[in-house]
Structure 1
Amino acid sequence: MYRLDPRYAPAPQAVLRTGWRAVAAALPDGPVVVAVEGPPSVDWEELGDRLGRELTVRGTPVARLDVRGHYAPPHEVRDRTEHPASRDDPYYSKLATNPLDDLFDHLPPVTRPREGLLLVHGPGAALLPHDVLWYADTPKRYAEAAVAAGTRGINLGLPGEESDPRRLFYIDWPMLDRHRDALAPRIDGWLDVQDPDRPTWIDGDGLRATYAALARRPVRTRPYFNSTPWGGHWARRALGFDPGGRNTALGYELIAPEAGILIGTGPDAQAEVPFQLLCVLEPHSVLGPEVHARYGTSFPIRFDYLDTVGGGNLSVHCHPKEPYMRERFGWPYTQHETYYLTLTTPGSLVYLGLREDADPDTFRKEVHRAVTEAVPMDPEDHVLTFPAEQGRLYLIPAGTPHSSGAGNLVLEISATPYLYSLRFYDWLRPGTDGNPRPLPYEHGFANLDTDRRGDAVARTLVQEPRTLREGTGWREEVIGALDEMFYEVRRFVLDPGARADDHTRGRFHVLNVAQGEGVTLETEAGHIHDLHGAETLTVPAAAGRYTLRAKGDAPVLVVKALVR
């Protein structure tokens, strides 16, 4: 059965505490300065109050310093963090490269108290002198939900200001992630406050020991589904996932910048810690030396679901070509994608590439009329369509127009950059606020690959599987590879009960059970991990040799991606 909460035991030496009283008991009596760092989505007033109350009850004097009251004026924060070339762009900003101290004109002075504890808290607290460093966190989905709900003060350095999703994605998160990653080797405690009444804390050394072990064995991140205007209902019906929204459009199986790993002993004692920290603390073990040399600590492949079963068509869009991605948006590699059709319905389509007779100028004029005058257009006049074939992979290099039609479950296997859907047409569909959804079509046409058209699309982007190797009851196929794409997609086909051997050879693998009950994976070191239907698993480079054994009475298909 699909696990909604895959969980891993902490290292034996790790200390896990749940509840404010137990968490506060991890703090020393003093005299000491404790910095609690974290994102704006944390309720910092509540955190300070709850810790302060518990410390006072035990007899420890507490003084507080909220660093948010010492930020530079809002206009200064915006001027320092917004790239000049992005200020006139209503859709995207260039990724911010600022250090967090750009939020301040001057850091407030800190003096160690004569007795008790000085609690310095808020985004940027770690910049001040301190004796103990904690990181308080809520997963990024909480910040997204808060911005969507109109909650004020979610943006970095702008407490009390109206929240802006564009700043969240392109300015706040890059700054916060870089700051957090730099702190990771010396954090004394990680505090998960997504349940404000029942926080969970794990000590820093214990967290690092836990991650050192997980970096050498298969690990699954916590899945999550978001709602969108086009979304379907497969995940709710098939997996029992209820996101509290109107559909289950986007399944976050493994999107490294937002993924989390659950560490704990049960649902009442678990901390969700970013997957990204695994790559930061153990890059050679997770990514492999060659991949680490090319991509730093960025995990470059993502797996997610696009659920349009009972929903609508995705927008017709493309993704930035590499020079444009690097120079205009600031991401060092681009967003090549593939669609693996896990489930289809009769008549469903995949939009991919240009028709042989497509005229980009006419295409642009029709898109412009759709945007400015709400005149509907038929994308099939310009974009090729293919019958959506279950078990088929469709390759989507950057610049290629594409879309999944209604009635599909797509396993999207892609490069990790995921915030740059350059839409051409969205069926005149309103967003959740009732207004037309943004269409950054000028960005789209600046990246449109006009050579990817006609018969060449079917020949190069809809490839036939080719057997790479095989054994008794199994084979491994290459189902999609292009010279211009840095990763390739393979597939294991296993008969019931069959066993297939594999080896990471110094590069991580990502696996997904696309058909069948699942597999049991066992590494050479003896780590065993069950992987059920629709689940995704990361096999770190350090895992080395491993075996897959098919479960159930029917054939099993396991899709695999790796850096080429």
Structure 2
Amino acid sequence: MYRLDPRYAPAPQAVLTVGWQAAAAQLPSEPAVLAVEGPPTVDWDALAEHLRRALTATPVTLLDVRGHYAPAAEIRTRTERPEDEEDPYFRKLADNPLDDLFDTLPAAARPDEGLLVVYGPGAALVDHDLLWYADLPKRYAEAAAVAGTAGTNLGLPGEKPDLRRLFYADWPMLDRHRDALAPRLDGWLDLQDPDRPVWLDGPGLRATYAALARRPVRTRPYFNSTPWGGHWAQRTLGFGPDARNTALGYELIAPEAGILVGTGPRAQAEVPFQLMCVLEPQSVLGAEVHARFGTSFPLRFDYLDTVGGGNLSVHCHPKEPYMRERFGWPYTQHETYYMTLGGPGAKVFLGLREDADVDVFRERVRQAATEGTPMNPEDHVRAFPAEQGQLFMIPAGTPHASGAGNLVLEISATPYLYSLRFYDWLRPDADGNPRPLPYEHGFANLETGRRGAAVARDLVQQPRTVREGTGWREEVIGALDEMFYEVRRYVLDAGAEADDDTAGRFHILNVVEGDGVTVHTAAGDRHELAYAETLTVPAAVGGYRLRAADGGPVRVVKALVR
């Protein structure tokens, strides 16, 4: 059965406690400076008050670094480029250090007695003796920005939130800052339950990551809602029964993914998957992948749920030079769609028609965006039957969309913030406003040569068996020279076993049909993987075996860097 909360035990030497009193008990009795770092979505005033109350036997002095930020206009000047103001849709990823928030850092001399608590985003820049990181996963920040919660943006504590700034400025700055702190953190504080935080000691956190980087691991899944979303995940997996829909399923999107570490649902900390890549890059990624991508985990698995929903927007993703120079990401967003479910009449839009006239296409898109004139994408873009088990290749620059009635397992390069829409069916957003159409970006990246028969030949590939044994075979179901990863599939009879080896580069697995498999590693680890679940097999695992459940045949999709 699909697990909504895959959880892993902390390392044996780790200290994991629950509650403010238990967290405060980890602090020294001698005078010291504690810096508590973290994102702006943390309720910093409440955190400071909770710590002060919990430290009843210790004099506490509080220093809020947010009161020492540079003026808001100056922060904007430092963190925005002129071209950012010209583009209403996207920004280049910010490369600022966090000290750009300050003119002068506050002084924090060690007290004669008790504890000086320096807190807020940027607290770690102040001289300190101990360092904690107080965290809320990124989904909280996105929800706060959508809700209009003041103080969501970095360095702008009293201002109305800007979702675009959150994605392209705040998160890159915060991620680099957090990643640099990871080797010396003394404690990790999970504040998802603000009255019962979960605290994990820094050495224990790093030991836990070291163990998880050498065994198969699942990240915590999550579904959001969008105007096009469907209901498969609600009905089949039990996600968000009260939500308006389940649209984008975060199975493994490394910049936002978390790993649950703990002993039970009320004693677990969600820690970033990305920090495991920072602390254990060769174990997770493998030496060659690490050399190519640094600590960026380059693949993602997610779901696009349009079962009972609508068509996705017709869009493309930036080609690599454009992605690198205009948006600041060093590699681009090649994608694939694996049809986990498809219904009668369901479609996938992909590539240009043979007779497509790009000038006419552009004019129809312009009329839709500026005048609200409906258009038929199939006048310009090819449509294919959404057959269960088919993989569609979507290299950067290729127009595409999933139609309504599908469950797509999207296997993609990790960059995920740059969808260059051409047409969105004149659909309003949740507030009733027209959804943005950055179609000029789209046409600047449109691959006009991939059209007609070449789309079917190159992008709708047929399986090719590369290995087989008793009761099983492994197929390549998608590979292109211009894409740095490929997608394979295991087809296993009930109870069949197949051996594999990471051979120095990570694998990602997802059960697309059947009751599931058990993954056995050469080191003796065992991991169940149910239908629709996604599993990362780090490079350090080496040899492993898949055993299909006894209830019937199983299909498992696998992706790896070529």
Give me the TM-score of the superposition, normalised by structure 2.
1.00
Contact 1:83–1:96, Cα closer than 8 Å, also in 2: no
What is the Cα deviation at residue 26 of structure 1?
Answer: 1.1
The total of aligned residue pairs comes to 562
Q: 1:417 and 1:18 mapped to 2: Cα distance?
A: 35
The residue identity in structure 2 corresponding to 1:41 is: T
What is the Cα deviation at residue 29 of structure 1?
Answer: 2.1
Q: Match of 2:86, SS?
A: coil
The residue identity in structure 2 corresponding to 1:94 is: K
The residue identity in structure 1 corresponding to 2:545 is: T
Contact 1:518–1:552, Cα closer than 8 Å, also in 2: no
Of 359-368 and 80-89, deviating more is 80-89
Please name the residue that 2:395 is paired with.
397
The residue identity in structure 1 corresponding to 2:74 is: E
Please name the residue that 1:39 is paired with.
39
Contact 2:153–2:165, Cα closer than 8 Å, also in 1: yes
Q: 2:150 and 2:450 mapped to 1: Cα distance?
A: 44
Please name the residue that 1:220 is paired with.
218
Please name the residue that 1:146 is paired with.
144
In the alignment, does 2:310 pair up with 1:327? no
In the alignment, does 2:24 pair up with 1:28? no
Q: How does 1:291-370 map to 2 (within 5 A)?
A: 291-370=289-368
Q: Match of 1:217, SS?
A: coil
1:532 to 527, 530, 533: 530
2:422 to 424, 441, 445: 424
Q: 1:279 to 1:244 in 2, by over 3 A?
A: farther
2:244 to 234, 243, 246: 246
1:275 to 253, 273, 281: 273
What is the Cα deviation at residue 197 of structure 1?
Answer: 1.2
Q: 1:307 and 1:132 mapped to 2: Cα distance?
A: 45
Q: 1:112 and 1:61 mapped to 2: Cα distance?
A: 13
Q: 1:446 and 1:30 mapped to 2: Cα distance?
A: 61
The residue identity in structure 2 corresponding to 1:46 is: A
Q: 1:15 and 1:493 mapped to 2: Cα distance?
A: 42
What is the Cα deviation at residue 84 of structure 1?
Answer: 2.5
Q: How does 1:113-512 map to 2 (within 5 A)?
A: 113-242=111-240, 244-512=242-510
Please name the residue that 2:548 is paired with.
550
Please name the residue that 1:106 is paired with.
104
What is the Cα deviation at residue 243 of structure 1?
Answer: 6.6
Q: 2:255 and 2:30 mapped to 1: Cα distance?
A: 36
Q: 1:327 and 1:538 mapped to 2: Cα distance?
A: 31
Please name the residue that 2:6 is paired with.
6
Contact 1:523–1:547, Cα closer than 8 Å, also in 2: yes
Runs of 4+ in 1 over 4 A off after TM superposition: none
Give me the TM-score of the superposition, normalised by structure 1.
0.99
Please name the residue that 2:71 is paired with.
73
- CA deviations on 1:94-116 (whole Å, 9 max, x unpaired) are 00000000000000111111000
Please name the residue that 1:87 is paired with.
85
Q: 1:562 to 1:17 in 2, by over 3 A?
A: same
What is the Cα deviation at residue 23 of structure 1?
Answer: 1.0
Please name the residue that 1:52 is paired with.
52
Contact 2:343–2:387, Cα closer than 8 Å, also in 1: no
Contact 2:511–2:530, Cα closer than 8 Å, also in 1: yes
Q: 1:304 and 1:518 mapped to 2: Cα distance?
A: 18
The residue identity in structure 2 corresponding to 1:550 is: A
Q: 2:394 and 2:196 mapped to 1: Cα distance?
A: 44
What is the Cα deviation at residue 242 of structure 1?
Answer: 1.1
The residue identity in structure 2 corresponding to 1:361 is: D
Q: Match of 2:422, SS?
A: strand
- CA deviations on 1:261-318 (whole Å, 9 max, x unpaired) are 0000000100000000000000000000000000000000000000000000000000
Q: Give the percent of matched residue pairs that are identical in Structure 1 and Structure 2.
A: 78
